[in-house]
Structure 1
Amino acid sequence: MDCSIFSTSTKLLFFRASLLSIIMFFMCLNIVHGTATEFGYGSHCGSVVPDSEAIDEEFHTLPFPGRQNGYYSGGDNVLNRSSDRYYYPPVSKVLVFETHHVYTTRVKDVFKVEGNLIFQSSYYYEQSFSNHGRYPYSYSSDSSARGTLDFDFHGFWSRTTGKLCMVGLGYIYSKEGEVLHLRAVLKLNNVKNTSDINTLITGTMDSLYPADNPNYFDPISMLMFPQGSYRYTKVSKNFNQGCPGGTDVPGKSSLSLSRTRHVCDMFSVQDNAFELEYSSGCGSSKSCSPLGDDLGYSPRLMYLSMIQCSDDVLSLRFLIEFPDDNTYMRYSGSSNFSTSLIGEGSWDSKRNRLCIVACRIEDASSSSLEKSHVGDCSTRLSLRFPAILSIRNTSTLVGEIWSEKARNESGFFDRIVFRDTKNNRGRIQLQGLKYEYMETDQVKKSCPKKSINGNSSRQYPDGYSADMAFSMTIKGPKGRIGWGSSSPLAVGDQPHQMFPFLIPSSSSRPKSSDAGVSLLNISYAMRIDLSRSELFPGLDPFNQSSNGYLEIRISAEGFYDLDTGNLCMVGCRHLGLHNKSTDCGIVVDVHFPPLNSDRKGSKIKGIIKSTREKTDHLHFEPLEFSGRAYYSSWAAESIWRMDFEMVMSVISNTLAIVFVVLQIIHMRRHPGVCPSVSLLMLVILALGYLIPLVLNLEAMFDQDSERSVWMRSGIWLEVNEVIIRAVTMVAFLLHIRLLMLSWTARCSEEKNKALWIAEKRGLYLCFPVYIAGGLIIGATRQQHSSSYIEQAILGGSRAYAGLILDAFLFPQIVFNMFLNSKEPALSRFFYIGFTLVRLVPHGYDLYRANNYIDMADSYIYANPTADYYSTAWDYIIPMLGLFFAAIIYLQQRLGCRCFLPKRFRGSVTYDELPVDSEEQAPLKHST
C-alpha cells in the first residue's frame, strides 16, 4: 500500500469530520438557545411576577412552610396510568410542595423561590405527610421508587400580590415505558405570610409543550390549605364561650383531657370516621344532608382529617368530608371538595367538648380546583368523650352537627348525631371511662346459671383475656348464610383493655377469696353480615339491605361463667340509619370450649334468639353460629411446636445425609451394583431436595412478618431456617454425587444395553402412572375445592410431587422387574432409612392435628403444602411406603420377579466381568 495515498485520505477524512462537528455544534447551540428562549421565565411569568436578580438567601420570609400539602385535579394522561397491571384509580389526589431556597431580590417584596412539587396518588405516600408536619410519618425522597411525578421549579413570589409563578421540568414514564421529559409553568394565588379560614391557595400547572407534542400533559389545577402563620378567627380565643347552639350536656358526663394528652393527640391519626344518625323525620324522600338538598343523598359517614394544630395545642383545623356510600372504604383524603367543609375548632375545657366552626368550599369541581373559595360558615360541630358507656351507647366519641340558619332559610338542616365507627371504636381511651350495666335484671331472668356436668377439672378462658374475641360463621337451614365478629366492649365496669398499660381496676375483678364467685359481668359489640336475609324477614324490618347483604350490629351485656365457659347476654339491635330505636328483645348464648380440650374440634358455638312474639314484625328465627377457638395458650404451645419442628427438620435432613453416605459406601464396596440403581429414582430424590431450595430462595431475603409474630425473635427464626437450608443443600449435593456414580458406572459398562432398555421401559411405565395419578387426584380435589384454578394447580402440583417422593422406590421396583436382576443395588440402610424419613412426618401430622391448633404459614416440618396430609393420607402413604420397601427386600433376596407368576419370571444367568478387587461381586445378567 502507498503511504502517501494513505496520508492524503486520512487528511481528507479528518477535514470532513471537523467540518461536520462544527456544523453540529452550531445546530445544537441554536437548539439550546431556542429552548432557553421558549421555556424561559420571562416569556411565561414576566406578567405575573417580574424577574429580578437574586441577592441573599432569606431564612425568615417563606411563601410556604418547609413542606406544604395540597390536592390536585387533572393531568390524567401522565398521572392516571390506568394501563398499569396493579394500578387502581386514586380516590385521593395529593401533592406536596417542598421549598428549598428563598432569596431576596433587588425588587422590594419580590423573592426568588426554588423548590419541587411532587404529585402522588398513592395511599402510602399520602400518609407520609397527611399529618401536616406536626406528627410526620417517615418520608423517602426517592420519588422514582414511589412512582411519583416530581417537578423541579424556580421562579419568583410577590409578597404584595400573593402570586407565585415558577417554571420547571420533570420526567415520568409513559404507559409504553418511555421517558417523558415534561416542562411546565406553575401559577399560584393567595400565597401570603398570614392566612385564616377564608384563605385557600389555588392555582394551575400547564405544560409548555403544544398539545400535539408527546411530552404534553393535560392542565392540572390544585388546592392547598395554607399552614404558615394561620390565625384562628372563627373560634373563641379564650376557650370559655363553649359551643353556642349545641346541646347542653353536663360536664361530668364527658371525660376531660389531661396535660399529657391534648386534643391534637385525639385526632392525630387520619380517617377519624363517624356514622351519622339522622332524626326520625328524615328519609329517602327528604334530604337532611348537611350539604343541602342538591346533593341527592344523605351521607352515612363523616370523616375528620386534621390539617394543622396550633402551637399551644388548644386549637386545630379540620377537613370535614361527607363521601357517598361508594367511597366507604376510601383512602385518606379526598379530592371531592364539593362534599367537604373546612373548619377550625377549639377545646372547651369547662364542658369538656370540642367546638368546630365549618365553612363550605364553593366552586370546587372534580375537573378544576382553581376557582375554589370559602363560602357559607353557618355549620357547627361539637364532639365529646362520654364518661359512661352502656348497652345503648357503645361509642367512645360522640357529637352532633347543626346549622345556625333559620328553619325556613336555604341550607338549613336538622340536627344530626354522629358516633365513631366500629373500626375506630376503642382506639381512644381516656382515664376514667366506665361501663354501666342497665339490663342486669333481664339477664338474670333470661340466663339462669347452668350446672357443671361431667369433668369439673376443665378450665375455660379468663374473661379479661383476648381469647374472648372471636369470629362467627352464621348457619342457616341450607348452610352458611353469613359471617360476623364479636369482641368484648367491657369486662366488669372497665372498658375492654386494648392496650397493655391500661390495667383494669381491682374492683372490676371478682375477689378470689369469695367462695363460689364465678360469674363475671361482660359486655360485647357484635357485627353480623348476612348474605341471604330473606330467610329471616324480621332482621330487616325497614328494607335497608343493599346488594343482597344486611349488616346487623348488636350490643349485648350479661354474665360469663368461668366454671362452665358459658356466656349469656341480653342484646340490643340497632335498627338503622334513619331510625334511632333499638330492638332489645334479643338473647345471645355462647359456649367456649375448654382450654384443655381437643384442639382440632374445638369450636365456639352459640345462638342468637329473639324473645318477641312470632307475630311481631321484629321477630326473627334463631341464628346459630360457630367459630374456631384460637386461645393464646394454644398459640404459646404452637411456638414450642415450631421450635420442635425446626429440630425435626434438621434431624430428618441429617439422617437423609447419613443414609446417602451409607449408600455411596455400599456402591464403593460393591462397584458391580452401581449400574443397577434406577436413574429415575435418583433424579426424583435429588429434585425432592432441590425444589424446596428453589422455592425458599426468596424467603431468605423476605422476612415473613406473620410467622415472626409467633417467634421469640426474628433472628431466631432466620438462623434456624438458614441451618435447615444448609443441611438440605448438603443432602442435595450428596444425591447428585450418588446420581453421578450410577450414571458413570452405567456409561462405562460394556454390557449396558440391557440396563438402558430396562431404564427406558421403566420410564414408559412410570410416567403414565404418574400422569394418571395426578389427573385422578387433581379431579378429586377440584370437586371439593372452591379456590382459584391457578392456586389449585400450583398447590396441588407441589403436594403431588411430595407424594411421588414418598413413593421414591417405585421406579427402582419397576427397573428391577424389567432388568430381572438379583443384585443388591440398594443398601438396606438406604431404602429402609429413607422410607422412615418420608413416613415419620405423616405420623407426626396425626399427632399434631389432635394436639395443636391449625395456624396457616406456621408449619416447618410436615408442611401440608409440600405433601398430602390428612387422616386418610396419613395412613395410606405409610402403608404404601412400607409395602414398597418390602418388595425391594424380596427382590434383592429372592429375585426381581419373585412376586410374579412363574411363566413371567424368566431365568437369571451370571456373566463374569473383570474383577478390580476381591470385594467386587459378579454382575448378574438376565436372559
Structure 2
Amino acid sequence: MDPLLSVIVFLFTFLSIKFACSASELSYNNHCNSFVSYSTPSNKRVNTFPLGDTHNGYFQGGKKITGLGNGETWSQFSFYLQPRRIQTTEASHLFKLEGLVSFRSTLAWNFTYVQSRSHRSRRIRHGSDLVTSFKLEGFWSESSGKVCMVGRGTYFSEKGESIGLEAVFKLNNVFSSSNISSMVIGKLESLSSENDKSYFEPISVFMFPKEAYKYTLDSTEADKECSSGIDAEQGLSLDSNSLSFCSYSISRAIAMLPLEYSDECNSPKNCTPIDGSSGQLPTLMSLKAIQCSHSQKHTMRVLLEFSNNSYYYYGMNQEKNPQNILVGEGWWNKKSNVLCVVACHIKGISSSVDGTRVDDCSVRLRLRFPSTWSIKNTSSIVGEIWSNKTANEQGYFKRIKFRNDEARLVVVGHGLEYEYSQLEIANKSCHNQKPVEGQGKSYPEAYSYDMRFDMSVRESRKRVAWGYSAPLFVADKFYDLGMPMFSDSVSSFSDQVPPPDIHNNNTGSLFNISYKISLTPLSLSGIDDKNSFFSNKSFESVKLTAEGIYDAQGGTLCMVGCREVSSKNAINTYSLDCEIMVNFQFPPLGTTNGRRIRGSIESTRKKSDPLYFKPLDLSASTNYVISLRRNAWRMDMEVIIALISTTLACVFVGLQLYHVKRNPDVLPFISIMMMSILTFGYMIPLVLNLEALLSQNPNNKNIVYGFVGWLEVNEIAVRLTTMKGRASASIYAGGYYNREPSSWENFKSYGGLVMDGFLLPQIILNIFSNIKRAQILSCSFYIGTTFVRVLPHAYDLYRAHNYAEVDNFAYLYADPDTDFYSTAWDIVIPLGGILFTIIVYLQQRFDALCVMPQRFKGSFAYDKVPAETELEGEVQTTNM
C-alpha cells in the first residue's frame, strides 16, 4: 500500500468516527434497496469479499470536486475494505460491508532536473496530492455480483473550506471467482442536488479483481508462438526461488521499456497495438505485474501501459487512458528462459463504464534477460511485441522491439558473460600512447570503487555536459554496481590482490575492461553545430559503451567506444557509431594537490564524415577510497579537537566567573561589548545547532561518508558539547543577551571574525577607564579563549597542506562557513589575537595607557582637584 495513502486512511478513520454513525443515518433503502436488497446483519464476521482488503482501480469524473481532474481523463483510485466489518446476514447470499473509497489526484506539479550518479538525469517531482475519501456502508450480493453502499466524505475547497459530501457507491461483476475477462465496473454518485455546493458529477470506476483468479490464456499454441520468432535466443536462467516479477528490482526494471519500431513505421497505422487516433506512436511501454503466483509455471497477471511520457511510469502522472492499457497473463518458460505474455484489449471504455469489457486477446509479448553482453549490446532486458493476426486483419501491427539498458535495475543471474571484440584496436591505440611519468606510484585497482566517477564535459573549451562512467565487466567478472564501497574485496590499496576470476590481459597490471558512459547536455541552446557531439539530440542522455585495456601500473585507460545514433527513418531506433576512442588518465592514489582524472572522447572518422564530431575533454574529481579513508580519519580527528576546544572554552569561562566572584569590584570595568560579542557568537550557533540536531533526517545519508557510522554519534556529541560551552558563555553574559534573528546565519563568517577580536572592546574600555595594575580579566580567560580562537586557523593551515579538498559538509571543525579561512587569514587572525592578548597583559600589568603613544597619554590623564574646593574625589579630564 502507498505509505501516503496508508497514513491518510488511518487519519481519516480516526478523525471521522462520526461518519460511522452518519453513514447509517443515510437511508440505505431509499438509495440501494432496488440494486441490492437490505438484509439484517448478524454478529458473525467473515473475510470472503473477492476484491481483497486493498484494491486499486481507475476513475473518471467528479469534475466539481476540486482536484479530481476535468472529468475527461482517468486517474487511479483506491478501495479499502475493513475485513472485520464483513458480516453475514439473514440472507445466505448477502453480506454487510464497511469500507473506504479514496480518489487521488494531483494539485500541482513542479519538476527539477537532478544530476546524479546514474545513467540518466533524474527529473524529481515536487507537488502535492489531493485525496478525497468516502466512508461507506452497504451490502454485497454474492449471487448477482452487485455491491451498493452509502456514506459520507469530505474535501477541501480551493479556499480551504471543508465541504461534506453524501454519495452512493454501486459496483457490478463482483463475483467470488474471476478470469481475464472479469472486470469490476461501477459508479459513485452524489446524493446532493445539482445546485448544492456539495454536489459533484458522477464518478465512473473500473477495477481488475485479484481474488480467486483462474488463468486461462496459457495454451500450447501460445507457448509455441513465444518460443519462435526473431528474438528467440536463450536467456539467463533465474533462480526459481527468487523469481518474481512483482519484486521491486524486476518490477522497476520493466516499468519503463523504450519501444523500437521498424523503418517503415512512421505512423500508428499497423504499427501499434493500441488506438492510434492521436497520430503518434507511443515510445515507451510499462509492464506492470499486478499479481504473481509461484505455482506451476510462475504465472503472473500484468498490465501493459503505453505512453510518450517517460515520467508516466514513475508514478509522477496519475492520469491514465484505458485505451492505452492492455491486460494479460504471463508465465515463465523454464526451457527457453523467456517470459511469455498474452494480452487483451479493453473495449467499450467511455464516459460511462457500462458495456466495458476485456476482448481481443491477440497481442503477444516475449521478454528475456540476455546471457551474453558485448560492446554493441549491453541491454539487461530485451523483448518484442507482436500480433498473432494476419496483415489483412483488423488489429494487426508490425513487430515492436523493446529493451532496458539500466543494468543496475536488474538482478543479474548466474552465467552472464561479456564478449570482447575491439581489444585489438584498443591495443594498437594503447601502444601509441606516451609512457606515463611518475612510475612507481600506486593507481586504482581495476575492480574498485575508484573506477566509476562523475565527470565534467567540455567541447571547444566550453562546458556543455556532465557525465557518468562506470565499468560493466573487468575481464570476465561483472562489475557489481551495488558492491559495498569499503569492503576488503574492493579495496583501492595497491598491495591488495584482485578478486578471483579476474584474468589479466598480458601482465600483472593489464586488464581487459568494458565501460558504460552516459553524457547529459546542460542545455540544448547553442548546440547548433552539426559537428557537435550533442547536435540533434534531445535532453536525454547520450549513451556510449566502450571496451579496452586498463593499465593499473600507470593509471591509463584506453578503449574503443560505440555511441547510439538516432535513425532518421525509424522512431526511437538507433544505429551504432563505433569509430570512437575513449581515453582516461588516473592520478596516483593519495593525491592531495587537487589533481583530477583527465580524459577525452574522439572520433576517428574524417571531418567530412557525417558522423564525425568534435573532441570532448573530460575531467573528474578523484574521490579515491584511500583518500576518503584519510578524510574519514581527518573527520575523527576534528571531532576530538572540537570536543577538546569546546570543553576548554567552558573551563576558561568558568575561571573568569570564579575570578569575578573573588574580586567583585572589577565587574563594572568588564566590557559589555566584549560580553555581547561572546554571547551572540556562542548563542546564535547554539540555536542553529539545536535545530540541526533535532531535525536530522536519518534517510539523508551521504554516499561518501555514510559508512563511518559512529561519526554521526560523535557529531551529535560535538554539537551537545558546543551547546554546553555556549550556554556557559551565556550565563556569564547575564542579562545582556538578546537573541538575534535567524537571518544572521548568513553572516556567520563575519561573526567568526568579530569573535576573533573579542578583546578589542576591553582594550578600548581599559584606555578610557585608565586602569592601573588592575586584574580585570583573569589570565586564564583571555589567554585561554584567545588560544581557542587561534587553534582553528592553525589547524586549517595543517589541513590545507595535508588533505585534499572536500565538500563543506565534511568539515566538523574549522568550518569555512563560520569564519575567514585561507592562508592569509590563517596568519593575520592569529597574529591579531596574540597582539590583543599582549596588549591586555601590559594594560593589566602596568597601566592602560602604556600601549599608547606618548603624545596621546596626556589626553587621558587625571588631574588632582585643589584642596580649597573641598572635594576629595578625582575628575577625569580629556582633550576630546
TM-score (norm 2): 0.82
Tell me whether 1:581 sits opposite 2:575 in the alignment.
yes
The 1:271–1:581 alpha-carbon spacing in structure 2 relative to 1, beyond 3 Å, is closer
Q: Distance in 1 between matches of 2:682 and 2:382?
A: 60
After TM superposition, the structure 1 = structure 2 runs for residues 750-789 of structure 1, keeping only pairs within 5 Å, are none
Q: Pairwise mapping of residues 42-441 of structure 1 onto structure 2 (< 5 A)?
A: 42-55=29-42, 57=44, 59=46, 61-75=48-62, 78=65, 80=67, 93-100=76-83, 101-121=85-105, 148-236=131-219, 241=224, 243=226, 246-247=229-230, 249-251=232-234, 254-264=235-245, 265=247, 267-269=250-252, 272-283=255-266, 288-312=271-295, 314-325=298-309, 327=311, 330-331=314-315, 334-336=318-320, 337-364=322-349, 372-422=356-406, 425-441=408-424
The whole-number CA distance in structure 1 between the counterparts of 2:721 and 2:279 is 67
1:697 to 663, 683, 690: 690
Of 628, 638, 642, which aligns to 2:631?
638
* Equivalent residues of 2:62, 2:68 under 8 A apart: no
Whole-Å separation in 1 of the counterparts to 2:478 and 2:199: 58
Q: How does 1:873-892 map to 2 (within 5 A)?
A: 873-889=825-841, 891-892=843-844
Report the alpha carbon displacement of residue 394 of structure 1 after superposing the two structures with TM: 0.5
Conservation of the 8 A alpha-carbon contact between 1:489 and 1:524: yes
Find the aligned partners of 1:121 and 1:905 in 2 and give their Cα distance: 82
2:105, 2:129 within 8 Å by CA — same for their partners in 1?
Answer: no
Q: CA deviation at 1:557?
A: 0.6
Gaps of 5+ in 2: 1-18, 108-127, 491-497, 866-872
Separation in 2, partners of 1:149, 1:699? 35
User: Does structure 2 conserve the Cα–Cα contact (< 8 Å) formed by 1:387 and 1:434?
Assistant: yes
**Cα displacement (A) at 1:381:** 1.0
1:541-620 counterparts in 2 under 5 A? Answer: 544-546=536-538, 549=539, 551-576=541-566, 578-598=572-592, 601-620=594-613
CA distance in 1, matches of 2:544, 2:258: 15
Evaluate the alpha carbon distance shift between residue 902 and residue 369 of structure 1 in structure 2; reply closer, same or farther with a 3 A threshold.
farther
Assess if the C-alpha contact under 8 Å between 1:693 and 1:729 holds in 2.
yes
Deviation per residue, 1:346-378 (Å, 9 max, x gap): 11222211111122234546x776664324332
Task: Quickly say closer, same or farther: Cα 1:712–1:309, change in 2 above 3 A.
Answer: closer
Q: Which amino acid aligns with 1:589?
A: N
In 1, Cα distance between the equivalents of 2:578 and 2:716?
Answer: 57
Once the two structures are superposed, residues 32-54 of structure 1 have per-residue CA deviations (whole angstroms, 9 ceiling, x without a partner) of: 9x988982111111121111122
Cα displacement (A) at 1:523: 0.8
Match of 1:472 among 420, 440, 455: 455
The answer on 1:490 being equivalent to 2:477 is no
Determine the C-alpha separation between the residues in 1 that align with 2:268 and 2:29.
57
Equivalent runs, 1:499-578 vs 2, <5 Å: 499-500=482-483, 508-510=501-503, 516-530=507-521, 531-532=523-524, 534=527, 536-539=529-532, 544-546=536-538, 549=539, 551-576=541-566, 578=572
Asked whether the 8 Å contact 1:267–1:305 carries over to 2, the reply is no
- Displacement of 1:430 after TM fit? 0.5
| 8 Å CA contact retained: 2:849, 2:857 | no
> What is the aligned partner in structure 2 of residue 857 from structure 1?
809
Kindly tell me: are residues 584 and 78 of structure 1, through their superposed partners in 2, closer, same or farther at Cα, counting changes over 3 Å? same
CA distance in 2, matches of 1:280, 1:382: 21
What CA deviation, in whole Å up to 9, does each residue of 1:361-412 have, x standing for no partner? 34546x7766643243322111001110010111111111122333344443
Q: What are the superposed Cα offsets for residues 683-734 of structure 1, whole Å, 9 maximum, x if unpaired?
A: 12122222222112233334444458636675x4564345334433432343
Letter in 1 for 2:514: S
Aligned to 1:909: 862
Q: Does 1:649 align with 2:642?
A: yes
Question: How far apart, CA to CA, are the structure 2 residues paired with 1:395 and 1:554?
Answer: 12
What do the CA deviations read for 1:45-67 (whole angstroms, capped 9, x no partner)? 11211111224636363232232
Residues 1:825 and 2:788 aligned together: no
| Other structure's SS at 1:842 match | helix
**Residue 843, structure 1, aligned to residue 794, structure 2:** yes
Partner SS state of residue 531, structure 2? helix
- Measure the CA separation in 1 of the matches of 2:775 and 2:105: 69
After superposition, what is the alpha-carbon deviation per residue over 1:299-342, rounded to whole angstroms, capped at 9, x for unaligned?
Answer: 22221111001251611111111222363673178541232221
1:602–1:102 distance in 2 versus 1, CA, 3 Å: same
- Conserved 8 A contact 1:305-1:333: no
> 1:238 & 1:362 partners in 2: Cα distance?
24
Q: Contact conserved, 1:74 with 1:218, CA < 8 A, in 2?
A: yes
Task: Give the Cα separation in 2 of the matches to 1:857 and 1:183.
Answer: 53
Partner of 1:720: 714
Structure 1 position 661, deviation (Å): 2.4
The one-letter code of the counterpart of 2:369 is F
CA change 1:324–1:671 in 2 (3 A) is same
User: Aligned letter for 1:545?
Assistant: K
- Which of 730, 734, 739 is the aligned partner of 2:733? 739
What is the rounded CA distance, in whole Å, between the counterparts of 1:605 and 1:427 in structure 2?
A: 31
* CA 1:516–1:557: 2 relative to 1, 3 Å: closer
Aligned residues: 802
Judge which range, 896-905 or 382-391, deviates more.
896-905
Is the Cα contact below 8 Å between 2:50 and 2:210 reproduced in 1? no
Would the aligned equivalents of 1:361 and 1:372 in 2 still touch at CA under 8 Å? Answer: yes
Distance 1:178 1:561 in 2: 69
- Contact 1:358-1:377 at 8 Å conserved across structures: yes
Residues 507 and 104 (structure 1 numbering): CA distance in 2 closer, same or farther, change over 3 Å?
same
1: CA distance, partners of 2:313 / 2:768 = 66
Mapped to 1, the partners of 2:281 and 2:876 lie a distance apart of: 90
Asked if the contact 2:532/2:613 (under 8 Å) is kept, the reply is yes
Equivalent residues of 2:244, 2:292 under 8 A apart: no
Q: Is the 8 A contact 2:476 2:502 kept in 1?
A: no
What SS class does the counterpart of residue 193 from structure 2 fall into? Answer: coil
In structure 1, distance between residues paired with 2:68 and 2:97? 31
Per the alignment, in what secondary structure is the counterpart of residue 649 of structure 1? helix
Tell whether the 8 Å contact from 1:821 to 1:925 is kept in structure 2 after alignment: no
Structure 2 residue identity aligned to 1:357: V
The CA distance in 2 between the partners of 1:818 and 1:368, in whole Å, is: 91
Contact kept? 2:23, 2:150, Cα under 8 Å: no
Alpha-carbon displacement from aligned partner over 1:521-555 (angstroms, at most 9, x marks no partner): 111111111225626523569x6434xx4631101
Q: Is the 8 A contact 2:50 2:177 kept in 1?
A: no
Larger mean Cα displacement after TM superposition, 445-454 or 431-440: 445-454
The aligned amino acid for 1:51 is Y
5+ long unaligned stretches in structure 1: 1-31, 83-89, 124-144, 745-762, 764-769, 771-789, 913-921
With over 3 angstroms needed to count, the CA separation of the structure-2 counterparts of 1:231 and 1:873, relative to structure 1, is farther
Q: Percent identity?
A: 38
- SS in structure 2 at match of 1:210: coil
Aligned-CA RMSD value: 3.8
Greater fraction of residues in helix: 1
